[in-house]
């Protein structure tokens, strides 16, 4: 009885390690690590599956902020920001992720460094990989 070939590679000491998988987003951003880093933590790969709208997420986030529930407000602003990315609205994405950073200063959002560039790359991803 033979062993099946593993999807794991071996390092120099013969210890198995997981094979590297490159995502479509990573491939699309190849050569632009800054944009990839900005999008990988903020972009929804298929936002059509969400059951909320940009407006609803933003309203709920504002309510959470007003009611002094910063963790909830941050999560909802992240959703609103991700939906703004999908809609191609760099201004709103920067606004919502800026609020996230304000509410949760220990967390940084690289998308704020160049939201227009990140949004353009996200739009390229959506056109290429989302079948509408």
CA 60/CA 123 separation, integer angstroms: 26
Query: Which has the closest alpha carbon to 92: 53, 65, 130, 51?
Result: 53
pLDDT digits (tens, 9 = 90+) for 84-126: 999 999 999 999 999 999 999 999 999 999 999 999 999 999 9
Query: Which has the closest alpha carbon to 107: 62, 60, 65, 75?
Result: 75
Note the pTM of the prediction, 2 decimals: 0.82
pLDDT digits (tens, 9 = 90+) for 33-62: 999 999 999 999 999 999 999 999 999 999
């Amino acid at each position: 009885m033979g062993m099946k070939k593993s999807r794991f590679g071996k390092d120099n000491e013969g210890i198995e390690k997981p094979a590297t998988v490159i995502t479509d987003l990573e491939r699309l951003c190849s050569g632009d690590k800054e944009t990839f880093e900005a999008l990988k933590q903020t972009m929804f790969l298929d936002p059509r599956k969400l059951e909320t709208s940009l407006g609803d997420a933003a309203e709920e986030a504002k309510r959470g902020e007003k009611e002094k529930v910063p963790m909830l407000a941050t999560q909802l602003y992240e959703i609103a920001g991700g939906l703004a990315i999908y809609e191609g609205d760099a201004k709103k994405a920067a606004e919502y992720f800026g609020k996230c950073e304000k509410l949760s200063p220990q967390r940084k959002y690289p998308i704020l460094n160049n939201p227009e560039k990140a949004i353009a790359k996200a739009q390229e991803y959506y056109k290429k990989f989302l079948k509408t």
